[in-house]
């Protein structure tokens, strides 16, 4: 599935030589998104603007692509994400977000195209005006290489944009996120409630706003219990990929003169690597080190011991992102809003009371 350009997740449609929507928009003096809505026979355009667009179409002999008669238009939705270490559809976190998007779009009769950003790829294909000839709107999923600057340039393009699992500070964009601050708080609060006071955090890269928010929740819980964040108990992530970050972070904690008795892993991937390091050092979980993670991926229930973790509604985030984009295309959600989905703690076997040996 990884390819340059937009990847059709459903089908490939042959191109047809004709006047472009950009030509129509230029002659009519309107935005490409308005032309796209009129071409899709959607009611979200004013009568005067619609008349100018139809007149321009007639003057340019613009031919709409033939399509079966439908009760409502069929949109093409672009999903933009950074390229991950493994294909996104197999990633234990973003794979479920993508599945949620695909399923919601399919159930509502729309098509999805996927574009993965590779490090060093030019932004031009994403920002070109002709993009509106291919897609009606974009879902921008996660952060990383999808920087705030690129997000704002895309948001200022001529198609509607919704962010999923990310947001831009001080910018009124439509976004759908999990309550990551509460997730970090829930994980830490649980360990503090068991009597642990040296509770470490295995943080993630700060280029992902969701992981930064989880760290804020961790710190909030500490402050509530009269504790402060000890830098020695928050080893920064290494350059290693995936769970190997957690592996090396845990080794740093174990090498401290006074290691923590419990740890919050910023993600399940991080936790899996940390558990591997503990087992290599002959440490028992949770007797020697209690652990709580955040994500609740399918694998977390099958580790040894089973991982206590905070459930993040990944598929629901993806589906809600598509629903929000469709609402924008329909003109039903004009005011930018931030939708926050609840998280909940799933208690399993990886955490125990402090002082139990």
pLDDT of 2 strictly over 50: no
pLDDT of residue 349: 95
CA distance 220 to 188: 9
Q: What is the mean pLDDT of residues 101-129?
A: 80
Please give the share of the chain, as a percent, with pLDDT higher than 90.
Answer: 57
pLDDT of residue 244: 85
pLDDT digits (tens, 9 = 90+) for 314-338: 999 999 999 999 999 887 767 899 9
pLDDT of residue 348: 96
pLDDT digits (tens, 9 = 90+) for 122-172: 665 666 655 656 889 999 998 888 999 999 999 988 889 999 999 999 999
pLDDT of residue 25: 80
pLDDT of 86 strictly over 90: no
pLDDT of residue 151: 93
Q: What is the mean pLDDT of residues 307-312?
A: 97
CA distance 66 to 18: 13
The dihedral of CA 164, 165, 168, 173: what is its sign? positive
CA distance 191 to 202: 14
pLDDT of residue 71: 56
The model carries a pTM of 0.78
Q: How far is CA 331 from CA 44, 163, 191, 287, in A?
A: 5, 17, 46, 56
How many alpha carbons fall within 13 Å on the CB side of residue 82?
A: 17
- 10 Å CB burial of residue 17 (0-12, 13-18, 19+) is exposed
pLDDT digits (tens, 9 = 90+) for 181-225: 999 999 999 999 999 999 999 999 999 999 999 999 999 999 999
pLDDT of 4 strictly over 70: no
pLDDT digits (tens, 9 = 90+) for 50-61: 888 888 888 888
Per DSSP, the three-state class of 116 is strand
Domains of the chain plus CATH, in order, are: 7-177+317-338 (3.40.50.2300), 180-313 (3.40.50.2300)
pLDDT of residue 295: 96
Mean pLDDT, the chain, rounded, equals: 86
Which is nearest to 292 in space by CA: 204, 183, 177?
183
pLDDT of residue 51: 83
CA distance 161 to 205: 25
Q: What is the mean pLDDT of residues 304-314?
A: 96
DSSP conformational letter for 307: P
pLDDT of residue 34: 74
Per DSSP, the three-state class of 294 is strand
pLDDT of residue 50: 82
């Amino acid at each position: 599935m990884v390819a340059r350009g937009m990847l059709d997740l459903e089908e490939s449609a042959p191109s047809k030589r004709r006047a472009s929507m950009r030509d129509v928009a230029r002659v009519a003096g309107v935005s490409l998104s308005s032309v796209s809505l009129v071409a899709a026979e959607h009611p979200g355009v004013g009568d005067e603007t619609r008349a100018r667009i139809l007149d321009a179409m007639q003057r340019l002999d613009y031919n709409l692509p033939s399509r079966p008669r439908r009760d409502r238009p069929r949109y093409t939705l672009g999903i933009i994400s950074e390229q991950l270490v493994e294909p996104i559809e197999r990633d234990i976190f973003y794979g479920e977000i993508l599945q949620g998007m695909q399923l919601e779009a399919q159930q509502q009769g729309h098509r999805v195209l996927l574009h993965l950003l590779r490090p060093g790829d030019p932004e031009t294909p994403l920002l070109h005006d002709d993009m509106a000839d291919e897609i009606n709107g974009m879902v921008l999923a996660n952060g990383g290489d999808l920087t705030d600057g690129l997000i704002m340039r895309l948001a200022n393009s001529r198609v509607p944009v919704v962010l999923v699992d990310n947001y831009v500070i001080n910018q009124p964009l439509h976004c759908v996120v999990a309550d990551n601050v509460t997730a970090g708080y829930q994980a830490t609060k649980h360990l503090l409630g068991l009597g642990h006071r040296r509770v470490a955090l295995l943080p993630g890269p700060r280029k992902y706003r969701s992981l930064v928010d989880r760290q804020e929740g961790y710190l909030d819980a500490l402050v509530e219990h009269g504790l402060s964040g000890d830098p020695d108990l928050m080893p920064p992530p290494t350059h290693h990929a995936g769970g190997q970050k957690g592996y090396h972070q845990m080794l740093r904690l174990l090498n401290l003169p006074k290691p923590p008795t419990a740890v919050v892993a910023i993600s399940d991937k991080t936790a899996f690597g940390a558990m591997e390091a503990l087992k290599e050092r002959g440490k028992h979980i949770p007797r020697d080190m209690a652990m709580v993670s955040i994500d609740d991926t399918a694998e977390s229930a099958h580790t040894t011991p089973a991982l206590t973790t905070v459930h993040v509604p990944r598929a629901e985030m993806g589906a809600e992102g598509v629903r929000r984009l469709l609402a924008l295309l329909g003109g039903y959600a004009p005011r930018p809003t931030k939708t926050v989905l609840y998280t909940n703690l799933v208690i399993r076997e990886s955490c125990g009371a402090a002082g139990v040996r």
